[in-house]
Amino acid sequence: MSEEIRGLDLKILSRLMGTLKPYRWQVVTSVVALGMGALSELAVPLLLQNGIDKGLLAHDLAHLTLVSAGILASIVVTMMTSFYQVYMLSKISQSVMLDLRTSLMARFQRQSSAWLLSHPQGRLVSAVTSDVSTLSEFFNTLFTSLLKDFVMMGGVVVALFVLHPLLAFWTVVTLPPVFVLVLLFGSWNRKANRRVRAQVSRVNAFLSEHLQGIGVVQLFGRQKAARATFSQENTELLAANLAERTINAVFRPLIDVLWAVSLGFLVWFGTQLFLHPDSSGTLTVGVLIAFITLVSRFYNPVASLAENFTALQSAMAGAERVFHFLETEVMVPDRGHLALGEAPHANIEFREVRFRYLPEEPVLQGLTFKVLEGQTVALVGTTGAGKTTITSLLTRLWDIDSGAILFGGNDLRDYQLSSLRGGIQSVLQDVFLFSGTVFDNIDLGRGLPRGRIEEVCRQVQAHGFIQALPLGYDTLLNEGATNLSSGQRQLVSFARVLAQDPKVLILDEATANIDTETEGMIQQALQVLLKDRTSLVIAHRLSTIRKADRILVLDRGIIAQSGTHEELLAQGGLYADVYKLQFESSSD
């Protein structure tokens, strides 16, 4: 809320208007409809005056009938135009939202992982959802409320002068106080409203979080504290609501008082004019009635004027965030033109690679190694040694600071990003599945034939349990795939990768959480995945490490040792130490 924009920022305003470009003809026709609607609405009091003075008081039934027909026509025109205008403007603002949402999402997806990690996910989601929604509010407020209100209020003033300039002058003199009131209460109301909204979101955040974490709250015996905190938030919400109510409770009746004051003035000066007729013409009863009607129309939109300005301003703040995100450059440039399939071989080479996530914390410090086509290389090392980083660099989730990473003798950056990522696949410990069917999660929108998917699942031993699910491959997975066990999730992720048949496989071996039976299945499935494929494995299991063609021991961003299991044990050093610590004592 701190980002509220003061006044109207012209740059954002012009960008906002720019989003209307594809719909400019619809905008023009709806604005025309709006104008026509306002004119026909204003025509009614004028016709009324005419009907009263020239028909009713002149005892001319024919004229009265004619005027009545005119009013009927303007009622119909008003109704049609306002429906057209509401419909078209909704359509336009909805379309603009669709455009912005899809391009924002497309933009976010193509940002580097570094960028995505440095922006809290909640903010990105709210940019796509609620910030864009405020834009539709912007257009609705601007066109259906503000523009229309101003046209009407201006129209009323013009109509007054057309009817009777002198009386109009004295009537209009009474109007300015209302704007002072609007400005004054507008800013109070804005503050009160901001306080309410902020507090509503605090209460909701508190609730949703404590309901999700109810288990933790209860286990730690924090119900009383939670109750007390909620009571505070809830009381503050009441206070905010009551403060807003008080402002409204005073503001709206005050406007009504001013309206009555204007009417009083009108009657008073009307009488004066009647008693002292002058050059500006006499006052008729019809004119007086028309004035009374018109002044009421003038006061109608005043009450909501302040609210509309507030809506406009918060919409601009939302728009600014949206445009900011749309302008952010995509940080992993995709300028390569090679396809991974064109590479002469599948060797991977790291040359003096340096990389850090944060300026003062180097992760890789001149890393050099080579993986030959078809080899399985195991990466071992302590937590934080940079193992996971290596896998992220290979798929260009991040770009390196210096040095080079080569695939098939070419720099990674020379490949098309899509081709690179399609050919170098990683299987992560933390399996992320989308809510959708099992089939969709393996197929990932490529439309592979059912038979192919089943074949792949059979190879990684996932077919059995998938078949046993209530709807087989069409079973819907929950958010977080909680209806599968972690072992089953792991197998689905294997199937997903195998369906891609990647040239290179990066595997972050699962450490635990899987019972022994599933473990056995996973080990077998892994053999299928690794067979004849250039693979880089972040290994935790001795069996995997020993089967590898070569072992790289990482320590603080460099290769400390490399060789086969036997060679490394014979060498002594870090590997032998870690090995002894972890595995030897289990024979006690």
Partner 1 sequence: MLKTFASLLPYLRRYAWWYFAGLACLLLTNAGQIQFPQWLKQAVNAIASGHPEVTQISSLMVGMAATALVIALGRVGWRVFIIGAARRIEKELRQDLVDHLLSMPASWFAGQRIGDLMARATNDIEAVRMAIGMVLVALTDAVTISGAILVFLLIQDPLLGLIIVSPLPVITVLIVVFGGKVGVLFKKVQEEYSSLSTFAQENLAGSRVVKAFVQEASVDARFRRANEAYLDANMELVKLWGFFFPIISALSGLSALFLLYWGGQDVMSGKLSPGDFTAYLSYLGMLIWPLMGAGMVVNWLQRGAASLLRLREVLDTKPTIVAEGDLPRPKNFDLEFRNLSFAYSSEGPTVLSNLNFRIPQGQFVGVLGRVGSGKTTLAALLPRTFDPPAGTVFLGGQDIRNYRLDDLRSCFSVVPQSTFLFSDTIRNNIAFARPETPDDRLRVLAELSTISRDIEALSQGWETEVGERGITLSGGQKQRLSLSRALNVDAPILLLDDALSAVDLDTEEKIIDHLKATRLGKTNLLISHRVATLRHCDVVLVLDKGRIVDFGTHAELMAREGFYAETARLQHVEFVVGGSP
For partner 1, the binding residues in 281-320 under the rule CB under 8 A are: 283, 285, 288-289, 292-293, 296
Select from 17, 72, 173, 183 the one that contacts partner 1 (CB under 8 A).
72
Comparing CB distances to partner 1, the nearer of 271 and 368 is 271
What is the size of the binding site for partner 1 (CB under 8 A)? 158
Cβ 10 to partner 1 shortest distance, Å: 29
Spell out, one character per residue from 346 to 385, where the chain touches partner 1: x when CB under 8 A holds, - when not. Answer: ------------x--x--------------------xxx-
Select from 231, 467, 483, 524 the one that contacts partner 1 (CB under 8 A).
231
SS (H, E, C) 463-522: HHHHHHCCCHHHCECCHHHCCCCHHHHHHHHHHHHHCCCCCEEEEECCCCCCCHHHHHHH
- In this structure, the number of other CB atoms found within 10 A of the CB of residue 4 comes to 12
| Residue 342, C-beta contacts closer than 8 angstroms, at least 6 positions apart | none
Candidates 158-166, 306-314, 340-348, 428-436 — which segment interacts with partner 1 by CB under 8 A?
Answer: 428-436
Candidates 19-27, 243-251, 469-477, 527-535 — which segment interacts with partner 1 by CB under 8 A?
Answer: 243-251
Cβ 429 to partner 1 shortest distance, Å: 7
Comparing CB distances to partner 1, the nearer of 372 and 444 is 444
27 binds partner 1 (CB under 8 A): no
328 binds partner 1 (CB under 8 A): no
**What is the distance, to the nearest Å, from the Cα of residue 518 to the centroid of all Cα atoms in its chain?**
39
Select from 6, 275, 449, 532 the one that contacts partner 1 (CB under 8 A).
275
- In this structure, the number of other CB atoms found within 10 A of the CB of residue 62 comes to 8
Residue 168: closest CA among 323, 80, 46, 327: 46
Comparing CB distances to partner 1, the nearer of 333 and 352 is 333
Select from 5, 9, 113, 321 the one that contacts partner 1 (CB under 8 A).
113
SS (H, E, C) 262-279: HHHHHHHHHHHHHHCCCC
Select from 176, 221, 451, 470 the one that contacts partner 1 (CB under 8 A).
221
Comparing CB distances to partner 1, the nearer of 12 and 481 is 481
Q: Residue 484 to residues 432, 470, 476: CA-CA distances in angstroms? A: 12, 12, 11
Select from 428, 559, 560, 574 the one that contacts partner 1 (CB under 8 A).
428
Candidates 104-112, 180-188, 345-353, 461-469 — which segment interacts with partner 1 by CB under 8 A?
Answer: 104-112
578/377 Cα distance (integer angstroms): 18
Span 507-526, contacts to partner 1 by CB under 8 A: 511-520
Q: Please name every residue paired with 379 in a beta bridge, in sequence order, or none if there are none.
A: 538, 552
47/63 Cα distance (integer angstroms): 11
397 binds partner 1 (CB under 8 A): yes
Residue 511: closest CA among 574, 580, 430: 430
169 binds partner 1 (CB under 8 A): no
213 binds partner 1 (CB under 8 A): yes
Candidates 339-347, 418-426, 455-463, 528-536 — which segment interacts with partner 1 by CB under 8 A?
Answer: 418-426
Q: Residue 386 to residues 356, 543, 546, 555, 581: CA-CA distances in angstroms? A: 10, 22, 21, 8, 21
124 binds partner 1 (CB under 8 A): yes
| DSSP string across 196-233 | HHHHHHHHHHHHHHHHHTHHHHHHTT-HHHHHHHHHHH
105 binds partner 1 (CB under 8 A): yes
75-104 as b/e: b if 16+ CB within 10 A? eebbeebbebbbebbeebbebbbeebbeeb
Select from 7, 219, 279, 335 the one that contacts partner 1 (CB under 8 A).
219
280 binds partner 1 (CB under 8 A): no
170/531 Cα distance (integer angstroms): 93
Span 568-587, contacts to partner 1 by CB under 8 A: 569, 578, 581-587
101 binds partner 1 (CB under 8 A): yes
Cβ 375 to partner 1 shortest distance, Å: 20
337 binds partner 1 (CB under 8 A): no
515/494 Cα distance (integer angstroms): 17
448 binds partner 1 (CB under 8 A): no
| H or E element at residue 346 | none
179 binds partner 1 (CB under 8 A): no
556 binds partner 1 (CB under 8 A): no
Tokens of 260: 């009555």
98 binds partner 1 (CB under 8 A): yes
Cβ 497 vs Cβ 456: under 8 Å = no
Q: Beta strands 348-358 and 402-407: pairing type?
A: antiparallel
Q: Residue 112 to residues 382, 388, 392, 393, 417: CA-CA distances in angstroms? A: 26, 16, 11, 11, 12
Cβ 220 to partner 1 shortest distance, Å: 4
Select from 331, 540, 555, 560 the one that contacts partner 1 (CB under 8 A).
540
